[in-house]
Amino acid sequence: MSDYYNAFEISPVPVPGPNAVPPEPFRGIYGMPAFATIPTSDLAESVDFWTRGLGFFELFSIPGTLVHLRRWAFQDVLLVSAASVAQEAPAMSFSFACVLSQVGSLVEACRALRPDSVDGPRDTPWNTRDVAVITPENARIVFTAAKPFDPDSQEARNLEAVGIRLDRR
């Protein structure tokens, strides 16, 4: 018996077939389960290529620093200014979501295996706690955990400054 089952209902990817229709670009704000971060020396040129060539759209940007692009739901790419990327680590990274309670054990486990493999944890201006890990293959993998949202925090003001308005309940 297999533990696998058809779960197309949770995916934006249509069921394959001759009449498959691509979903509309998804403009909602959600916790991203995974995303790529790609440095560029020319944000404007990269945004132009990704939008006009690859069909992504600009969800939001922090001028001169970061542009968040999206296509379908869960197809997120962060283009970042190459100047903001550490030179000793691989330039491109891939990020996976986690929860705050996983951060400490992830750091401990990775440091036990490779003592110098971990950078962080570090809190971000967009309300996450991130841990970057360099794998044996020299891939930069980031685990990112959302912190509880405080509507009166600097992080909330940072998000509002780029056009992301969150519920202030």
Asked if 126 contacts 159 with a C-beta cutoff of 8 angstroms, the reply is yes
Q: The domain 31-161: what is its CATH number?
A: 3.10.180.10
Q: Is the model's pLDDT at 168 over the cut of 60?
A: no
Q: Render pLDDT for 43-57 as a digit per residue (tens, 0 to 9).
A: 999 999 999 888 899
Average pLDDT over residues 72-92: 79
Percent of the chain with pLDDT over 90: 31
| Side-chain half-sphere exposure of 71, counting CA atoms within 13 A | 15
In which order are the strands placed within the sheet that holds 140-146?
57-62, 66-70, 76-81, 34-40, 93-98, 140-146, 128-134, 118-123
pLDDT at 77: 92
Q: Encoding tokens for residue 9?
A: 């209902």
Per-domain boundaries in the chain: 31-161
Q: Is the model's pLDDT at 5 over the cut of 80?
A: no
